[in-house]
Chain A
Amino acid sequence: MTVALLIEYIIKSGLILIAMTVGFAYVTYYERKALARIQSRIGPNRAGPWGILQPVADGVKLIFKEEFVPAKSDKLLFLLAPVITVIPALIITAVVPWGRSVTLFGRQIHLYLADVNVGILYLGAVASISVYGIVLAGWSSNNKYAMMGGLRSTAQMISYELALGLSFVSVTLLAGSMSLVDIVEAQGAHGFLGWIVWNLSQPLGFIIFLIAGMAETNRSPFDMPEAEQELTAGYHTEYSGMKFALFFMAEYIKIIAVSMIASTLFLGGYLGPFVDRLPWLGPIYLFIKTLIMIFVFIWVRATLPRFRYDRLMAFGWKVLLPLAFLNMFIAGIIIVLVGG
């Protein structure tokens, strides 16, 4: 572990954290603008030119809001819950590769933070830690609606994690490895045609991953836990100011993370034309694919009405889980037919 390697890790972690937090701010702006255009109106356009300073204005507002801790709440858990929810969201993209290797300052720098050889398992594990934060938020608010919201959200996230994990499994089968770097390389192994064949064998897996991802992040149409009309904002009812900003941040950063992972596992990650010769194009391709996936999230939010909670749970267990198993079988059959 040389000093140069340590500095490289620190810089890459810093980059990921900055990218996630700045990305969060501008995904909220992107969402408001895209939702507005779909609804025939213009989004925010007053704060700064074209409204690009709107996230700054929102951030300043949230910082200056009164921090309110309810009377009989469990203060330590109340303060810890947003932290437990947001930290896993920030670190989940540590294993996503943004490119191949780049030679800078005489060293060969890999464009990923960590090539964990069980990358897929890391993703599933870290995503599950956020669930603790949500149930603690609901519990420590000393508010029965928040508690119900927290429990509903927890149940939803746990149920859809099964389908999520199974869609990961089929990707692992096709690539032969759980490491995300290997998965991206396997998608590009046979050139453009290989990438097409990979995606043709995975449409069901892609759709299952997207649906399960939307349910994981409590995003429309699965946003019953934060439904304003039903549960008066669910598990984050009692939160205001910066703590609410942290929950908000956790949700949007998970959206970015799920989009990045979807583009990595199913759309080819940093692969694209000319990435062999110009390794700097890798992150740009990943960025464009992530933007497209985030648009799909926003698009679905603008279109579909909210699921009723019992139908949501029934869908997760009775429809999505069997489909995910089916997808796994299909992946297995394709491997046997193609011969490894």
Chain B
Amino acid sequence: MFIVEIGRGLWTTLRMMFEKPVTVQYPEVKRPMHARFKGRHNLHRYDNGLEKCIGCALCAAACPSDAIFVEAAENTDEERYSPGERYASTYEINMLRCIFCGYCEDACPTEAIILGDNYELSFTDRRQAIYTKEMLIMPVPAGGKTTPQKVEPGIFNRSIPVMENPKD
């Protein structure tokens, strides 16, 4: 009969008992995501605290599922949100429509919107699925001031900030 083979199989399973289990105890332990993981969107800021988003709505145009809604407004020197002529006064992403493709990230000229690591996005009501600018904007980095800022006139007089090639 197959006694020897059954015996070898039993020995293999017994050996597996002494190995460490591969279970990850979520939610106490979370696995880190890979480098360019497409999670929840984040609106980034410059180091001086000004928002990178200039309200151009290219991300809304690029979005294949029409999930982003942008309304722009003029910056004044007393109330300056971004280093250009305009800023996004209303910025909403409907997470139920978003397919996390990253086209908005590719379209953004100032690298303002970047998809980050957060994947825990549950909500219980459809209205809670609309993520507003307050929920998406990153906190002010150390050394910067919060927006809206009051700045010296004449410093930010380009209509669009200096655009560099993307670094990543």
Contact B13 A41 (CB under 8 A): no
A-B contact count (CB 8 A): 34
Stretch at the interface among A82-90, A122-130, A223-231, A295-303: A295-303
**B19 proximity list for chain A (CB < 8 A):** 40
Interface membership of chain B positions 1-39, coded 1 if the CB is closer than 8 angstroms to chain A and 0 otherwise: 100001001101110110111110100000000000000
| Nearest CB on B from A30, distance (A) | 13
Residue in contact with A303 in the complex, picked from B13, B21, B23, CB distance below 8 Å: B13
Label chain A's interface by main secondary structure: helix
Task: Give B28 Cβ to nearest chain A Cβ, in Å.
Answer: 11
Contact indicator B22/A303 (Cβ below 8 Å): no
In the complex, identify which listed stretch (A31-39, A49-57, A73-81, A109-117) lies at the interface while the others stay far away. A31-39
How many of chain A's residues touch chain B, expressed as a range?
Answer: 10 to 19
Whole-angstrom distance between the Cβ of A40 and the nearest chain B Cβ? 5
Do A37 and B17 touch across chains, with their CB atoms under 8 A apart?
yes
Q: What residues on A are CB-neighbors of B9 within 8 Å?
A: 303-304
A36 (CB) vs chain B CBs: closest residue: B21
A303 near B1: Cβ-Cβ < 8 Å: no
Known contacts A299-B10, A300-B10, A304-B9; is-contact A41 B16 (Cβ 8 Å) = no
Given the complex of chains A and B, what is the CA–CA distance between A26 and B17 in angstroms?
20
Across the interface, B16 reaches (CB within 8 A) one of A38, A42, A300, namely A38
> What band does the interface of chain B fall in when counting residues whose beta carbon is under 8 Å from A?
10 to 19
Q: Which residues of A contact B10 (CB under 8 A)?
A: 299-300, 303
Q: Does A155 make an interface contact (CB < 8 A)?
A: no
User: Which residues does chain B contribute within 8 Å of A300, judged by CB atoms?
Assistant: 10
Bound together, the chains give a CA A299 to CA B15 distance in angstroms of 11
A319 in the interface (beta carbon within 8 A): yes
Which residues from A are CB-within-8-Å of B13? 38, 299, 302-303
Which single member of B12, B21, B25 contacts A37 (CB below 8 Å)? Answer: B21
Chain B positions within 8 Å of A38 at CB level? 13-14, 16-17
B69-106 to A contact mask, C-beta < 8 Å, 1/0? 00000000000000000000000000000000000000
Closest A residue to B16 using CB positions: A38
Q: Please give, as numbers and ranges, the residues of chain B lying within 8 Å of A37 by CB-CB distance.
A: 16-17, 21
CB distance from A107 to the nearest CB of B (A): 45
Residue of B nearest to A45 (CB): B25
A238-279 interface code vs B (CB 8 A; 1 in, 0 out): 000000000000000000000000000000000000000000
Identify which of residues 301-318 in chain A touch chain B, using a CB-to-CB cut-off of 8 Å: 302-304
Expressed in whole angstroms, the Cα–Cα distance for A303 and B13 within the complex equals 6
Option from A42, A299, A304 in Cβ contact (under 8 Å) with B21: A42
Pick 29 A–B contacts, CB within 8 A, sort by A. A34-B17, A36-B21, A37-B17, A37-B21, A38-B13, A38-B14, A38-B16, A38-B17, A39-B16, A40-B20, A40-B21, A41-B21, A41-B22, A41-B23, A42-B21, A42-B25, A299-B10, A299-B13, A299-B14, A300-B10, A302-B13, A303-B6, A303-B9, A303-B10, A303-B12, A303-B13, A304-B6, A304-B9, A319-B1
B interface, CB within 8 angstroms of A: 1, 6, 9-10, 12-14, 16-17, 19-23, 25
Given contacts A38-B16, A38-B17, 18 further A-B contacts (CB under 8 A): A36-B21, A37-B16, A37-B21, A38-B13, A38-B14, A40-B19, A40-B20, A40-B22, A42-B21, A42-B23, A42-B25, A299-B13, A300-B10, A303-B6, A303-B9, A303-B12, A304-B6, A304-B9
